[in-house]
Structure 1
Amino acid sequence: MAIANQEMIRDNNRRQVLEYLVNHPPISRAALSQQLHLTKATISNIVQELIEQHLILEIGSAQTSLGRKPILLEFQKKCGYVLSIDVHPSQIIALTSDLKGENCRLKEYPFQKEDNLYKNLCRIIRDILPEYGNCPYKIVGITIGIYGVVQQNQILFTPYYPLPDSNLAKLLESEFHIPVFVENESNLSVLGESAFHHYDQNMVLLNIHDGIGMGIMINGHLYRGQDGYAGEIGHTILFPDGKPCPCGNHGCLEQYASEKAILEEYARLTHQEQVTIDAFVRDYQNQVPEALEMMELFSKYISIAINNIINTFNIELVVLNSSFSNYIPQINLSIQDYLHHHQNRKCQIIPSRLQDISGLMGGIRIGVERFLDIRHLIIENFSSNKIR
């Protein structure tokens, strides 16, 4: 028992040192000892181990006017890379980054509902792996975002494309010998956003695209519910006996307030076969009455959803991720005005910082944290303009 306790303490100390180095570089051994309240001998042993593992490196001396100049340490973020894949209903997007969520590359691949997802993912992974064969750890993890319900790395339900093999992660791990994590795309999105908003321990992210999903962060931890169905706010009932939904119910929120639902209704009102988001935004900016009407409905329905979220979770922060709210800033103000009239609890509502790649960055975060065995990756220097 004493040996087990010693190993646990040693592992915990290593985790603290590495996480601090990842999130707060550069720093000296002495400063690490002071910040983490660990002895200098403990810090020296852990640092030497991390240097030998190519995870950190010495980068020179700090500038000081007193005594010997301390040697600074920095996390070697390019020692490995992470692959994050988002399976949309109509395409697959792959993002690779280093172990700090930087040096990102994005690729898009066509995907149809009738395609075999496993074979498509194998082809994509084989396309990407050779690019990272020269760094010490190569690709250290693969995360796959699914539109549907996932529990314990198994896929339980997908409403917008055929249900893949529930053991998709194990199949890919056997094929490539790399850890594979499968997760709901809204859960990944809230993990991505919280890597930026790391001081907010309780937050919700609303993903509004073809459907409406919700990622929930409670006390700094992802909340999935009893069997992975937590956050399926798009399938809460807005109108009893309303429009049928693929989930089997009628009148679900996403049948009225998702981007897909809004654009389809706008096309019907304006006698068009289909309308793109860009065309709709142009019509809204040109004050087309039907576009204004649809955005008023969108604001109302999403305000109702957020009002219910605040009353249920008493949350600190709601991040809204939608093309409508991202491209039409007035929509955020309209939603906030509605809530101010119906809600007196303190809750900040902000647009997504990551927008379309929030789930992908959440996947990066999972891959990095699992590989390094740290609890929270903080991303501060990310810019979508730097993605190649």
Structure 2
Amino acid sequence: MDSTEILEKLVGFPTVSKDSNLELIEYVEQLLGTKDIKSTRVYNQDRTKTNLLIKVGPPELPGVLLSGHSDVVPVEDQDWSVPPFELTFTQDRLYGRGTTDMKGFVACALATIMKATDRSLRTPLWLAISYDEEVGCIGVRRLLDMMAGSTIKPLFCIVGEPTMLKVANGHKGKVFLRANCHGRGGHSALAPKALNALHLACDFIDRLRIKQQELANSRKQDDSYEIPYTTIHTAKIEGGIALNIVPATSSVDFEMRYLPEDSPSLILEELQEEADKIAESHREHFSEASITIEQISSYPGLTTPEQAPVVDFVKSLTGTNDTFKVAFGTEGGLFQDRLGVPTVVCGPGSMEQGHKADEFIAREQISRCDQMLAKLLDRLEIGII
């Protein structure tokens, strides 16, 4: 099967992060079985989802690792003109959820793995397919735990997130945070005798905006990024039961996407200090007033030097000379931090099409990705150690 045929199958599995990916993994295993390729599952705790690690080539040697995720974002509340979980073909585009982010790359990688069995590889080719990347890069951590216990680790890693097949050597780290606000409830007719937790939340959001402006004006800038400074984004506020009830609790979900030069823990300490000041200003009359920030999830940034061998190697596969840094996050920082594996991001498609209705990937991008991975096979056959 070629990459487009595999992609059609992959898109047909509605692997939204909240759901299982086991049917997709079973299909991949059946496909690999036609070439007698072995793979290893690494499950989540309740065994409803799994990572898959595939290796072709000399088992005693470190390989080049291709990395992709199987999960996709939801399609609810999006106005699709085509069925999201069916691949729709046009002359120059392939439509469907996950075509760009990032089943297109996974399809190309699987087609390449299948071809690898007909080659005499001196350097192995590995492929990791993870789950729950879209909700905090959760699934790959179990795979990394297993790989960390092995004496044989990858030479380097190519994360196939969409970059239009340009080589990205960095992205920011991310922390998902929640501020839990506690006031005092009551009847809305007596609202001045209560402490509205939504008011606490709004005061805290105001502090977030002030901190964001400070970061934007900071001398810690990296012009390699579209947004060259650390950002704080308020995403969701929850609270309230009914119109005539003063809410006693509320919460604010926010994120921090940080440059390596900034310390997320230090920024978090400063935000907690501001939260404490807000609560303290009410404690004379409302002793229960509090705002507590908790960390929900995080992943590290990716920082690979432009002079790193992996950068030059992948450039030679793509034919591009420049590197850049992507605005979005990937699992790349985890491969770098947890395994010490030099990592870059390079894959087909553009994130401009990701996470949207009528997501698509250009056929030309699939073709170019196939060509890039064909060059990789040629290099692995010669050997790169």
TM-score by length of 2: 0.24
More helix by share: 1
